[in-house]
Amino acid sequence: MKQARTLMGLAAAALLLSAGPLLGQRVECAPDNGGINLPAGFCATVFADSLPAPRHLRILANGDVYVSLAGRGGRGNTVATPGGVVILRDANRDGRADAQLDVVRGFGTSEVVVFDNHLYVENASSIFRFPIKVGEAAPTGAADTIVSGLPVGGHTIKTFAIAADGSLYVNIGSASNVCAARGADPKRPPDPCPELSTRAGIWRFDARKSGQKQSDGVQFVTGLRNAVGITIGPDNALWAAQHGRDALFQSWPDLFDAKYGAENPAEELVRMSRGDDYGWPYCYYSNVEKKRVDAPEYGGDGQKTTRCASKTAPVAAFPGHWAPNDLAFYTGSAFPAKYRGGVFIAFHGSWNRAPEPQAGYRVVFQPIRDGKAAGAYESFADKFSPNSGGEGPNRRPGGLAVGPDGALYIADDATGRIWKVVYTGR
């Protein structure tokens, strides 16, 4: 077999021999990694392109890549390119999908999970599933609604994860920033917050049982404003990355300056146990104090911990407003040893750090050992957006998955591109 050609920087393509169990053939990486920066020794193919807002990804043992599509034109609308779920298949194993197969279309979804011979999706108010046969695209039967009637509005996406025992964990994000209803005074929200009985937490249901309502579920944890990225870790625990609150500086300029408001509160990586309380809306995690502090709407000043000292701490904290939309633990063996057992997090990027520059728009790697952070996070893939110092299209990472060959897949829902990142060692 011909040896792989050496990577020639940004000017030439690289051919490499993947060590994964599915590939065994040469993978041609894009000359510029498809427009993103990666650490030395890594390169990327453009696995697929121009999809209608791809969000989360699930990859089966046979290499089929299931992709949730929010669709173009907005969730829930009639659009020229509707959302749903597609399978991407790389039949010739060159690192680029050569087939796109519709599974279900006609609605927007941000989540896709394959469990117990079924495909699970969401449409903001419901979780439902289709029976499938691995290797075939079309469902083998009609849809079955697992949970319906979930609250909508505000943070409306219902991302979820399914554990091996069939526990279905659903993120039900808050309806507001700090529990103030639309039109109410944002500096004087109700206390106690009525949202916490039905929102701002994770609810557990039975993934195999039809016809459930929210009242049939169990409130697993509370005080999470919006945990868009949620997964079962290799330790079988439930993990999530949550979006922190907004408007510290804008609402409270007498307490905080613009720099503080741009960097705070932290975005968080959390490892959840039943009954955990992460403090929203009464608390936020300060990147300055390195702990949860009382929110100014509830008597805080950026330092007080009167109400929040006992709230559950995150495993790791990140700069404010970066918007983590997905996470994937590295369970493969193709990357160097330091990545094994750690977690990749896709940050969609900010819109609300003004007057400071917008930031985020990257995939970071957070080392994890024994359920705790094992060092500082590091940027793994960046240059997605011109706002983060790059050039070209305004790409925003939103989905991650690790393939059976150990490659990392990254989805961009702004331009519809999916990258396959491989390690060459060069």
DSSP 214-275: GGGSEEEEE--S---EEEE-TTS-EEEEE-----HHHH-TTT--HHHHHH-SPEEEEEE-TT
The residue assigned the tokens 């991650």 is: 400
d(CA 111, CA 272) in angstroms, rounded, equals 20
Q: Is the separation of the CB atoms in 240 and 272 below 8 Å?
A: yes
Q: What is the DSSP letter of 124?
A: S
- Per-residue model confidence as pLDDT tens for the chain (426 residues): 333 322 223 333 333 333 333 444 568 899 899 999 999 999 999 999 999 999 999 999 999 999 999 997 644 444 568 899 999 999 999 999 999 999 999 999 999 999 999 999 999 999 999 999 999 999 999 999 999 999 999 999 999 999 999 999 999 999 999 999 988 999 999 999 999 999 999 999 999 999 999 999 999 999 999 999 999 999 999 999 999 999 999 999 999 999 999 999 999 999 999 999 999 999 999 999 999 999 999 999 999 999 999 999 999 999 999 999 999 999 999 999 999 999 999 999 999 999 999 999 999 999 999 999 999 999 999 999 866 555 667 899 999 999 999 999 999 999 999 999 999 997
Q: Which pLDDT value is given to residue 75?
A: 47
Domain-by-domain residue ranges, the chain? 49-418
Which residues make Cβ contacts (< 8 Å) with residue 215, sequence separation at least 6?
A: none
Helix (H, G, I), strand (E, B) or coil at 390: coil
CATH fourth-level superfamily of 49-418: TolB, C-terminal domain (2.120.10.30)
Measured from the Cβ of residue 78, the count of other Cβ atoms closer than 10 Å reads 9
- Residue 194, preceding peptide bond in cis (omega within 30° of 0): no
Q: Which pLDDT value is given to residue 5?
A: 28
Q: Is the separation of the CB atoms in 174 and 193 below 8 Å?
A: no
d(CA 426, CA 419) in angstroms, rounded, equals 19
